Amino acid sequence: MASLRISAKQLRIGDTLEPCAEGAVLVEAGRIVAVGPDAAVPRPAGVATADLGDATLLPGLIDAHMHTFGMPSTGLGALNTEREPYRALRAAGELRELLEAGFTSARCLGSSVGPDLRRAIDEGHVEGPRLVVAGQFISSTGGTWDAPPLPSSWGRAQTAIADGVDEIVQTVRERARAGADFIKLGLSKGGVQDRYHAWGDDPHAQVTTYSVEEVRAAVDEAHRNGMKVSAHAIGTAAVNLALDGGVDVIEHGYAIDDETRARLVDEGKIVVTTISQLHFHRAAYDAFHYPDWERDVYERHWQAMRRDFELGLQAGIRFALGTDLIGKPTHPLARAAKEFELAVEWGMSPDEALRAGTIGGAEALGIAAETGSLDMGKSADLVAVAGGLSDLADLARPIFVMKQGRRVRGTLPI
Ligand SMILES: [Zn+2]
């Protein structure tokens, strides 16, 4: 792979995203071999050069929580019955758009086609972000994602439902066999009569789905296989269950009390934000004729999420940015940069948001040694936006994207 020396008016370097005026990065064999002020970056004889002008060059963005469902987001009731070849092809198209939007890495936290998409991307058959994948969700009977009308025998046949330590251990092994990097456990759900079973009609009235012994068994078996564990956890009981069970990363993590918040901070646990999920539902209410009850549920979650995001920031929770986007038409993966804007709107500083959506995401995904910052030795995963990035809304319009040293977007010569 040819070498390329890229210069820009501003770079953001290292884990701290330190601004560097008039900087350059030297890319060789897909890696960053030098980065810093222009004068300090070598200019090997014959190297191709490219000047991004007044642009700001950043590490590639990372979506720490999304889904490669490959289904219309308005028809997810058929997720477990639609044919997988269609889903994989559709998701591949959406993943290319996510990459072109500047996201060079993403974590698919629940989709049976995720592991094979990752494989096809890594082998170069289709274009997409570097994926970290959970494969199929794991739910208890009647748990987070086991709701009628499908019989639970169907979910069990797909290894999406597991109860008791033995079955959970076996299911984690099935995920390892399928090529998952992460296990996705559903630890909270709505009460018995909730209409919005998976998230619960009231975020503060969630019930848990597993015993702590079951969660520990999943975590132990995942760790034995070199996988990490993420938990869908909303509400105090579920977040504490995740912590007691040794779960590595908390998804959503709101509607919690102050002690639980303090515990998240003390244990240094990463909480993935997922503001976009609700934002894009809200934006779709009218166009897609959401019923009143569903709007009410999302409004309650929106309030709880916002309040706890603000409290979490004050308390010092480690957030990573994740969108929980589920695909077109309501939640296009290509709109993932919205999460940065929303995090800032809710009180995160722009620099904090940039870190949470680059190095913070890489830490959540377990790939921080490989990507997540402009540092020597890391993969050449880059994104540039025109101008000085005074507004993170500009992230939605990248002028240049590079993944592993290969240009994905923009007119540079590599
Ligand atoms: Zn999700």
Q: Whole-angstrom Cα distance, residue 108 to residue 1?
A: 29
Neighbours of 191 (CB within 10 A): 12
Spacing, Cα 120 to ligand 1 middle (Å): 22
Spacing, Cα 89 to ligand 1 middle (Å): 20
The DSSP call for residue 216 is H
Spacing, Cα 386 to ligand 1 middle (Å): 31
Closest CA to 55 of 6, 105, 14, 2: 6
Q: How far is CA 355 from CA 76, 319, 367, in A?
A: 32, 9, 14
The predicted model scores a pTM of 0.97
Spacing, Cα 240 to ligand 1 middle (Å): 19
Spacing, Cα 251 to ligand 1 middle (Å): 8
Spacing, Cα 182 to ligand 1 middle (Å): 13
Architecture of domain 61-365: Alpha-Beta Barrel (3.20)
Neighbours of 211 (CB within 10 A): 15
How many helical (H) and strand (E) elements, i.e. helices and strands, does the chain have? 12, 18
Q: Give the neighbor-by-neighbor strand order of the sheet with 130-133.
A: 61-66, 103-108, 130-133
* Spans of all domains in the chain: 4-58+372-409, 61-365
What residues contact residue 148 under an 8 Å CB cut-off, 6+ apart?
A: none
Task: For 402, list phi and psi in degrees, rounded to 5.
Answer: -130, 135
Spacing, Cα 190 to ligand 1 middle (Å): 16
Q: Quick one: the chain helix, strand, coil %, rounded to 5?
A: 35, 25, 40
Neighbours of 350 (CB within 10 A): 16
Neighbours of 77 (CB within 10 A): 12
Spacing, Cα 45 to ligand 1 middle (Å): 48
Spacing, Cα 229 to ligand 1 middle (Å): 14
Spacing, Cα 17 to ligand 1 middle (Å): 28
Architecture of domain 4-58+372-409: Roll (2.30)
Question: Are the beta carbons of 290 and 281 closer than 8 angstroms?
Answer: yes
Spacing, Cα 42 to ligand 1 middle (Å): 43
Spacing, Cα 372 to ligand 1 middle (Å): 21
- pLDDT tens string, the chain, 414 residues long: the values are 679 999 999 999 999 999 999 999 999 999 999 999 999 999 999 999 999 999 999 999 999 999 999 999 998 888 888 999 999 999 999 999 999 999 999 999 999 999 999 999 999 999 999 999 999 999 999 999 987 778 888 888 888 999 999 999 999 999 999 999 999 999 999 988 898 888 899 999 999 999 999 999 999 999 999 999 999 999 999 999 999 999 999 999 999 999 999 999 999 999 999 999 999 999 999 999 999 999 999 999 999 999 999 999 999 999 999 999 999 999 999 999 999 999 999 999 999 999 999 999 999 999 999 999 999 999 999 999 999 999 999 999 999 999 999 999 887 655
